[in-house]
Structure formats: C-alpha cells, structure tokens
A and B are shown apart, each in its own frame.
Chain A
Amino acid sequence: MASHSHNPGPLPARPGPFGARRTWLLAIALAALWAAHGLGVTLSGLVPSGSGLNILGEFLGASLSPAWDYEVVVPEGTVALPWKVLDALRRTLIFAASGLSLALLLGFPLGIVASTAWWKNHKGARGERFHLLKRWLNPTLFVGIRTGIALLRSIHEVLWAVLLLAALGLNSFSAVCAIALPFAGTFAKVFSDILDEAPRDSADVLRASGATEAQAFLFGLLPRALPDMAAYAFYRFECAVRSSAVLGFFGYPTLGYFIKLAFDNKRYHEVWSYLWSLIVLVFVLEAISGALRRRVVVR
C-alpha cells in the first residue's frame, strides 16, 4: 500500500465515448422506443374507466382492514376465516416444499454433470474408472444435457401446469411436477455455474497429493460450492411459495384459488386477508434467507 503513495503509476485508460455500459444503455433506450411503438401503448390506457376506478377505490380502501370474518353469510359449520387463510397458506407451503424437494433431487445431479468442472480431464490425476465413465458419457451428451436444462427452465411453471393438467388431470402430481420441472432446470443451471466458479485450490491440492478425480471433485470442489448452493436453494423456496400461490389460479387449492374466488365475488377485505398473509410469509422467508446468506456465504 505504501509504495502506491510514492508511485501511483499511470491512471487506467479512460473508456471511449462508446464503452460497453453506454452502448447497452443506448440499446435499452432504442429497444424501449421500438417496443412502445410496436405495441401501440399510450398513456391513456393507464387511466381506468369509471367502473375500474370504483373497483380500484374499493379495493385499495380495503387494504388496511383485511377481513377477520366472512363478508357474506356462510353455511353453518364453515371454519372461521383465519383458519381458512392459514389452511390455504399450509397448502401453498406443502406444494412449494414438495415441488422444491423434487426439483433439488433432479437439479443437483443435473447441475453436477452440466458443469464444465465435472468434464474437465486433469493431467496426472488417477482414477481410470472415472475417466472411462467420462469417455463413455461423451461431450455430445454434455450438449444434450445443457439443452435439456434450457428447455426445462425456459418453460414457465404455469405453462408446465397447463400441459400437465391436460395430461394428468387436476391432482397433486401435476402440481408438484409443474413446480419441480422448471425449478430443477434453474437449479441445474445455477448449480453448474456455482461449481464452475468455485475456488479450485482444495481440489488441486487433493489431486496433487494423489487423490482420484472423483475424490478431488467430491471432497475438494463440491464442499467449496455447497454454501452458495444452499443459500440459493433457500432463496428459491421463496420463489416456489409464490409459484405455488399462482398455481391456485388453475384450480389447485393454494392461495391463488382463494384470492381469485374472493376477488371475483367482490369480497375485497377477504382478498386482503390472503394477500397480507402471503406478504408476511414472503417477508419472513426473505429475512431468514438473507440472514442465512450473510452467515453461510463467505466472500
């Protein structure tokens, strides 16, 4: 540090007028103009009609007074609203947890075989069997796996739900798979990126002291990547909760189902009971995953 104060050296060259950032900012502005023109949106579309304004007023007016009891007469023996809201939350969390666990089960191995670190051959490493396995699973398969992962994650969970609903019917299987398939694709992609960016030092040391490649991968590389992977998985749980809530719009008994039902029947206070419970849930999950990230991920 001290040497710097004596000899600061030449300053880094100033980027030209068309550096990467400026070029991309310009591209964004042009794309926005093209999009606004092509879509034909005007600011007048933002002004609600008379009935829309009424709905907006009533709906926002209800935001600070969520319902604690039903707004309409319900048949004898219906459970109290707070319990119904909690039950909707429970179901939302059930689909989120089972979908996410299945996604981890599929995405973790996929992520490992999709990482370049897994396919790289190291000079001087032992472990013939592992080499054979890799030669057998040749690079064409690597491209195939990557394509499959891209397909899995570029289809939105709702579109998966639409396809699976038609194929399997309205049941837990289609709901869980609708969450698990795209999330598995995302896990695979992010996990393979994390593995490729993880520090290689421990794996190199193990390899230099005679470990096989499988050992170097399992005990050298994987442990360096696991904290990041775990933090990401926790973050994705929050996303799974949101997706699970949205699947309710397609008939599954999660939050979205009750939100749609209450809104269509203009029971806005009840809508807010469900919305606030979702907001609080997301807030709590986010606080936990933020705290975990700060503890687990060493930077």
Chain B
Amino acid sequence: MSARGVNGASVSANSTSAARVQDLWRARPRSKLLRATCWSLGLWTLYAWFSPEIGLMDFLDGRRFSNLGRFVETELVPFPLRGEPLSLAALSTWVADIWNRIGMQSTLATLQISIIAIVIAGAAALPLSMFAARNLAASTPFENPSGREATWRRLFWTAISSSARALAILLRAVPEFILAFLLLAVLGPRNAWPAILALAMHNCGILARLGSEVVENLEPAPLRAMAAVGAPRRSLVVFGVLPLALGRNLLYFFYRFETCVREATVLGMLGVLSLGYWIQDARAKQYYDEVFLLVLFSVGVVLVADLVSVLARRSIRR
C-alpha cells in the first residue's frame, strides 16, 4: 500500500459528507506500477485481438462452427456406435477394451512419473530454498545482534542467495514440455527419465521460490533468539527453520503435485509411455474417438490427484 492511506494527512476535516467522500476518493491508495501494468497489458490485448495473427473478423468465421459440428457429430462418436443406434453394451465393451489394452497401464505410469518427479523436486527444492531465502542466507541470519558484519561476508552471502535465486529462475522459466523435448534427445526415447527430470527441474524451481518466501515470512523472534544464544546456521536450519516451514512447504508440495499429474499426461506425447503417448498414437491414426476417451482418462487421473491434494492440504492445515 502507498504511504497515502485512507487515514492519511491529505484527508481534510470537511463537514459535508459529499465532500468527505470526495476527499476519501482522492486519498485512496494508488500504485503507479499497477496502473502502468494494467494500461500496457490492456493495450497489448487490444493490439493482439486486432493483429493479423488473430484477425478478429476472421476469428468468428461461421465455417469454424460448422467444422466443429461435423467433428463432434462424426469423429468423436465412438467407432462401434457410428451409424448404429446408441447401445450401452457396445459402448462399454469399447471403453473396457481400450482401458485394458492401453488405458490402465499408461494412466498408472502417468501417476508414477509425476510422483517420482514431485518427490525429486521437493527434495531438491528444500535445500535450494534455504540458500535462496534472503533472511537466512545472510551474513547475520535473522539479523541477530551477535552476528559478525564484515563487508566480504556480506558480499559472500549475497552472492550465494542471488545465485540460488538465479538457478531457481532458470529452472522454472523453461516450460516442462520444452525441457522434456531437449532431455529426450539426450537420454533417448522410451525412457521415463526425460519426463521425470523435466517435471522435477521445473517444479524444483517453483517450489524453491515458494519455499524461500516461506522462510522469509517466518516469524523471526524464535529464530533470532536461537541465533542470539549462539546457534550456528546449521542448527538454525535443522531445529528452527525446517520445523516452522515444513507445514507450508507440504501445502505447496501437494499443490504442485496436482499440476505435475496434469503435465505428465502431456509429456507422453514426446515419446514417454504416459497417457500422452497413446493420445499421440491415436492422433496419428486419426482415431479421434480414442483420443477423446484417453483425454477423459487423463481427466480422471487429474481429478484423483486433485482430491488427494485437497485432502492432504486440509489435514495438514488443520
């Protein structure tokens, strides 16, 4: 919030209520950055819609909707039901066949890939977040009064926390899909590691950032007290920061797990045996009914992960 709050000095003691409201309106908190961002994003959006790449007029072409109708009415209809009356028996044998042939195995693989990935990400992000937290990775952690303050020490710790932050940014700036594409060329296809590593790297960057914010927002009093009576940094971390930050870190862990499952589905399209592999396979054969069913499987596994994540977060928060 800006310094000029609602109760700031600029509100004059005017007696009429209309003028008072006007004064309050004039003294409302404002942010130049917020305005500048809103304006530039708004103008950019306007430009985007009218740019030749989108072409607003071309966008709402009626032909598009007839194409959509044809796609839904013919290609999305399950193969055994095409030109036949709706029969639940035929539909369920078709679903069961695809589930048994590829669905179950690849749905499980999707889940397993994301579990391994998020565990690696969480395990790597925990130490990284400690080094990235500006209050812990400082020459005097938590500004304890007994700390030694020398210029070179300060520079040393600033360098450490800055490089930890830079590493986290590098990891999370590149999307998982692009990371997996690059790793696949290195590690070879039909191997789950490119997908696992891509997910782990990206999520490690995100979790490290969130984790460092958790440490920075911790109530400093108990940690400062520990530091003041001479606790070295490692005991501060093990007996102070970790127990205090674990709860929130677990919340973030489960929040990212959910997105991890969603992403793991798609990474299969590059050649890893998750659901996406078979989606890409069916797509190449133009079996769009099968593509759609596999997408529904992915919805199922994402919703299961969502449920686990919500349950876990609820019980941890309590």
Interface, chain A (partner B; CB < 8 A):
20-21, 23-25, 28, 31-32, 34-36, 38-39, 41, 45-46, 48-49, 52-53, 55-56, 59, 91, 93-95, 97-98, 100-101, 150-151, 154-156, 158-159, 162-163, 166-169, 171-173, 176, 230, 234, 237, 242-243, 245-246, 249, 253, 256, 259-260, 263, 275, 278-279, 282-283, 286, 288, 291-292, 295-296, 298
Point out the residues of chain B lying under 8 angstroms from A98, CB to CB: 45, 48-49, 54
Is B191 in contact with chain A by the CB < 8 A criterion?
yes
Could you say which residues of chain A place their CB within 8 Å of the CB of B58?
Answer: 171-172
Cβ-defined contact, A159 with B37, below 8 A: no
Interface readout for B109-140 with A: 1 if CB under 8 Å, 0 if not? 10111011001001000000000000000000
B196 within 8 Å of A (CB atoms) = yes
Please, how many angstroms separate the alpha-carbon atoms of A172 and B50 in the complex? 12
Q: Please determine whether B186 and A159 come into contact, CB atoms closer than 8 angstroms.
A: no
Which residues does chain A contribute within 8 Å of B247, judged by CB atoms? Answer: 21
In the complex, the answer to whether A278 meets B54 with C-beta atoms within 8 Å is no
Q: How far is the CA of A230 from the CA of B33 in the complex (A)?
A: 13
Closest to A158 in B: B266
- List chain A residues, Cβ under 8 A from B315: 20, 23-24
Q: Taking CB as reference atom, which chain A residue is nearest B70? A: A167
With contacts A39-B109, A246-B178 known, what are 12 further pairs, Cβ within 8 A?
Answer: A20-B315, A34-B112, A35-B111, A45-B187, A46-B193, A94-B54, A163-B288, A168-B71, A230-B34, A234-B41, A245-B178, A278-B174
Instruction: List the B residue with the shortest CB-CB distance to A23.
Output: B315
Q: Are B185 and A154 in contact (CB under 8 A)?
A: no
Q: B262 is contacted by which of A31, A151, A154 (Cβ under 8 Å)?
A: A154
Chain B residues with CB below 8 A from A52, complex form: 185-188
B residues in contact with A158, CB < 8 Å: 177, 266, 269
| Residues in A whose Cβ lies below 8 Å from that of B91 | none
B contacts with A: majority SS:
helix
Q: Residues of B within 8 Å of A, CB-based: how many?
A: 78
Report which of B109, B116, B191, B262 forms a contact with A156, defined as CB distance below 8 A: B262
Can you name 10 A-B residue pairings with CB atoms under 8 Å?
Answer: A23-B315, A94-B47, A155-B299, A163-B288, A168-B67, A168-B71, A246-B178, A278-B173, A282-B172, A295-B1
When the two chains form their complex, are residues A41 and B37 in contact, meaning their CB atoms are under 8 A apart?
no
A45 with B192, Cβ < 8 A, contacts A94-B53, A292-B34 known: yes
**Bound state CA distance, A131 and B238, in angstroms?**
55
Give the residue of A21, A39, A93, A283 whose beta carbon is less than 8 angstroms from that of B246: A21
On whether the beta carbons of B181 and A249 are closer than 8 Å, the reply is yes
Rounded to whole angstroms, the CA-CA distance of A292 and B41 in the bound complex is: 13
Beta-carbon contact of A156 and B266 below 8 Å? yes
